[in-house]
Amino acid sequence: MSVNSEEKKFYALNMFDVVDLEKYLAYFSRLPEAAPQYGGRMVAFGRFRDNVAGDLAPRQVLFLVEWESEEAFNRFRDDPELADLHPLRESGTASYIWQTFDGSDMSDPTHVSLDDVLAVLKP
């Protein structure tokens, strides 16, 4: 079975170090209400454990959010009504990496075909 275009996902990967816990908690405490209003679903939140491979400097925290679309993500990021929210994230963290990815939901890998995998791997 192949993933159709309606099942394609848009993910935002955040990796960072916490420098001001109070500010970051003020940001994070608003996300469960704010993100879904813009089509976001918090998928994973975790603490760094080990650098198994690669040359990227480790960050303390990983946070993965699934968005309905790139447009939904951009609305969340750019909405003036959230102008007071994003500075809390920015001033509460350091070494911040925020990258976006197109992908497929892999919670049931039987619904992902080899063609779906090749579509991600091809430039």
pTM: 0.84
Res 54: pLDDT: 92
Q: In whole angstroms, give the CA distance from residue 89 to residue 60.
A: 14
With CA atoms as reference, report the closest residue to 27 among 93, 81, 72.
93
Average pLDDT value over all residues in the chain: 91
Categorize the per-residue pLDDT at 14 as very low, low, confident or very high, splitting at 50, 70 and 90: very high
Res 1: pLDDT: 46
Angle at 6 between CA 4 and CA 7, to 5 degrees: 70
pLDDT digits (tens, 9 = 90+) for 40-67: 999 999 999 999 999 999 999 999 999 9
Q: What are phi and psi of 26, to 5 degrees?
A: -65, -40
Q: Is the pLDDT of residue 4 over 70?
A: no
Burial 20-36 (b: 16+ CB within 10 A, else e): eeebbebbeeebeebbe
Q: Is the pLDDT of residue 38 over 70?
A: yes
Q: Is the pLDDT of residue 2 over 60?
A: no
DSSP per-residue codes, 9-63 = EEEEEEEEEES-HHHHHHHHHHHHHHHHHTTEEEEEEEE-----S-SSPP-SEEE
pLDDT digits (tens, 9 = 90+) for 76-114: 999 999 999 999 999 999 999 999 999 888 888 888 888
